A and B are shown apart, each in its own frame.
Chain A
Amino acid sequence: MNPLLAISDLSVTFATDRGQVQALDGVSLSLNAGETLAVVGESGSGKSVTALSIMGLLGDSGRVSDGSIEFDGEDLTKVSGQRLREIRGNQIAFIFQEPMSSLNPVLTIGTQVAEPIWLHHKKSWSEAFEQAGELLRRVAIPDAVNRLEDYPHQFSGGMRQRVMIAMALACQPKLIIADEPTTALDVTVQAQILSLLKNLTKEANSSLILITHDLGVVARYADNVAVMYGGRVIETASARELYKNPQHPYTEGLMASIPKLDGDPGSRLYTIEGQPPDLSNLPSGCSFNPRCPHAQDKCIMTKPTLSEVAPNHLRACFGYER
């Protein structure tokens, strides 16, 4: 089976005041239909830029300098702007972190949910509006039909994120990309939203890319995980394999630094020394080498590429003795 999405060797650069900054450096990822892939990383690791480049939303300063994004048989880096608009919102939907700023404050909720259906599915406005009511009901908004005429400010943060999910689902997309969808929400609401998202994508056999920094969320919802660092994917595996058997020293350090349920409270946590790298001034070789406890000369000279350490488990590291 061909994967639904295959990103290979993707490089993205941004023009800034300080010159060209390479935000992505040879990123490769693939995703099958119906699968949930978590993309994990810290700020500046390139996880959001990866998502934006799939959607062709890099803006004026960003451009894909190399590589391809194959989605359902088409290379999204090569298609026309017109074609990309047909795909966006229809076959690929996006859920942003901030539900307040991604809804238009002067349009009613019903209008905003109905718009993609009207636009992409050529339905009449009244049909689209009716379908919007049905969608709001599916994302468990109480009294859904009567709330179509309400404005975003009349909804709470959690309810707005439900509206975003309803909009994303409106055209039954093959792929949903959710960029930190619950970071702005409280934990009890986070659990509601994520399980709703997971159940609805499963029902529709859609694929989900979940961008997050929360390793707990990954453990609960993801099938597979890609860990990013300094604009590169440094490890990919199934969620179970990655947590049980992390192979990159960065992943290993991340796993060790979070307080565990069976850990010893009051003890010192494992720390990764130093700071995440600055993309405009990346270290040579492996960009993790200044923080890596196992760094060798080789790591400073050359960049390791992804290679298989176990079936379906890739890492970009020259290897080390533990």
Chain B
Amino acid sequence: MSDSNILEVKDLQVHFPVTEGLLKRQVGSIAAVNGVSFHIKRGETFSLVGESGCGKSTTALSVLKMQSVLDGQIIFDGEDITHHSPAQMRGIRRKMQMVYQDPFGSLNPRMKIGSIIGEPLRVHGMAGDKTRYHARIASLMKTVGLLEDMAERYPHEFSGGQRQRICIARALALDPKLIICDEPVSALDVSIQAQVVNLLMDLQERLGLTYLFIAHDLSVVRHISNRVAVMYLGKIVEEADRDTLFKSPKHPYTKALLAAVPEADPEVEAQRAEQLIIGEIPSLRSPPPGCTFHTRCAEAMPICKQQAPDCRTDGASSLVCHLYS
């Protein structure tokens, strides 16, 4: 693996058991993530997009090893962590942190802000003496644009945007290399989203962070990402650099997804022909045979129903579709 990659995921498989009856007998399994491969270069923002149930969050949790993996390989910072024990993972998690979607559910209401931000330092035995510990918390709060004297307050005294800043400060406490952001702005008001997006970009520039960004809001993804992968039913169907993906999407699902998102401009919208994607996402319990998107695809061919398409890649971008093979 080349040194420029901070994370490499190869052929990741995550299955959930399906149980039945009182004794929870396993009757089958759901492939929530079904052969996902990608890599993230140091200092870039890589986004996973897709609709609910596509496996984007499960992929992120697997990278953190908060989700058991059936098969595949996860290489972080040159180290194969696929079979690491929880104890081994403790050291690794110092270098990868997470920011969650819901800034209300992810902060302990009984802890003061300073203590929340300092918790990773205490857990990992990096708190040091009292003066250094408090100085570190103060500097983290300053970094994310919070005032130092807020450290003695409780989460309920803060608005959604400020809470997300607290979550970001906590994620930064251990000087991580990779931050996984799972829908970090989607719970926030529109006028606050831009503040948090700017903060994430500033921090990346200043601290050389790498982001794995998970979102369904494509306008934010387009703004913040270097490369984007589109997921559908547990698989990556298209991956490309940001400009290629947004300007000339190839996979019919990517096209449909882009067309479904309204642009905030009535003039553009008036000229846009409405092209609706038919149907809804099929159940993962019984995914369609062949290409899993064929049931909703406007360009489906006979072969799509029978045979799953292979992944065609040229290093920079990849595509899983019979139309281009």
Question: Which A residues form the contact surface with B (CB < 8 A)?
Answer: 42-43, 156, 158-159, 186-192, 195, 213-222, 239-240, 243-244, 253-255, 257-261, 263, 265-266, 268-273, 275-276
Contacts and interface: CB of A to CB of B under 8 A. Distances in A.
- Give the 9 A-B CB pairs with smallest separation, nearest first: A216-B262, A259-B223, A257-B194, A220-B262, A186-B51, A269-B194, A42-B189, A191-B260, A215-B264
B280 A195 contact: no
B266 A191 contact: no
A158 B264 contact: no
Q: Please report whether the interface of chain B is mostly helix, strand, loop or mixed according to DSSP.
A: helix
Given A195-B274, A275-B161, A186 B281 contact: yes
A259 B263 CA distance: 10
A265 B223 contact: yes
B192 interface: yes
Interface size class of B (residues with CB under 8 A): 35 or more
A269 B223 contact: yes
B194 A213 contact: no
Nearest to B260: A191
A258 B264 contact: yes
A266 B218 CA distance: 14
B277 interface: yes
A191 B277 contact: yes
Contacts of A188: 51, 256-257, 260, 276-277
B129 interface: no
A126 B223 CA distance: 55
B189 A257 contact: no
A225 to B, nearest CB: 9
Contacts of A215: 190, 264
B260 A190 contact: yes
Given A259-B223, A265-B222, A265-B242, A253 B263 contact: no
Interface string B243-263: 100000000000011011111
A65 B195 CA distance: 36
Contacts, number: 124
B189 A266 contact: no
A31 to B, nearest CB: 18
B52 interface: yes
Nearest to A238: B266
Given A254-B191, A273-B195, 18 more contacts: A42-B191, A186-B52, A187-B51, A190-B260, A191-B274, A192-B277, A213-B189, A215-B190, A215-B264, A218-B264, A219-B264, A219-B266, A219-B269, A240-B267, A259-B220, A259-B222, A263-B223, A276-B191
Contact of B198 (A255, A263, A269): A269
Nearest to A275: B159
B216 A186 contact: yes
Contacts of B259: 191
19 contacts: A186-B281, A187-B261, A188-B277, A189-B51, A189-B280, A191-B260, A215-B190, A216-B262, A218-B264, A239-B266, A243-B264, A254-B191, A257-B194, A258-B219, A260-B219, A260-B265, A272-B194, A275-B162, A276-B189
Given A268-B198, A270-B194, A187 B264 contact: no
B193 A257 contact: yes
B162 to A, nearest CB: 7
B22 interface: no
B50 to A, nearest CB: 9
B51 A213 contact: no
A185 B159 CA distance: 25
B197 interface: yes
Interface in B128-179: 159, 161-162
Contact of A43 (B52, B189, B197, B218): B189
Contacts of B89: none
Contacts of A192: 276-277
Contacts of A220: 262-263, 266, 269
A220 B191 CA distance: 20
A257 B190 contact: yes
B92 interface: no
A216 B261 contact: yes
B81 interface: no
Contacts of B264: 215-216, 218-219, 243, 255, 258, 260
A257 B216 contact: no
B61 interface: no
B44 to A, nearest CB: 11
A271 B162 contact: no
A276 B161 CA distance: 10
Contacts of A191: 259-260, 262, 274, 276-277
A159 B281 CA distance: 12
Interface in B10-59: 51-52
B198 A187 contact: no
A272 B191 contact: yes
B268 interface: yes
Contacts of A266: 201, 223-224
Q: Which of B52, B242, B263, B264 has the most chain A CB atoms inside 10 A of its CB?
A: B264
Q: Which of B192, B193, B262, B281 has the most chain A CB atoms inside 10 A of its CB?
A: B262
A258 B266 contact: no
A151 to B, nearest CB: 18
Contacts of A216: 219, 261-264
Nearest to B264: A215
A257 B197 CA distance: 10
A279 B102 CA distance: 23
A218 B267 CA distance: 12
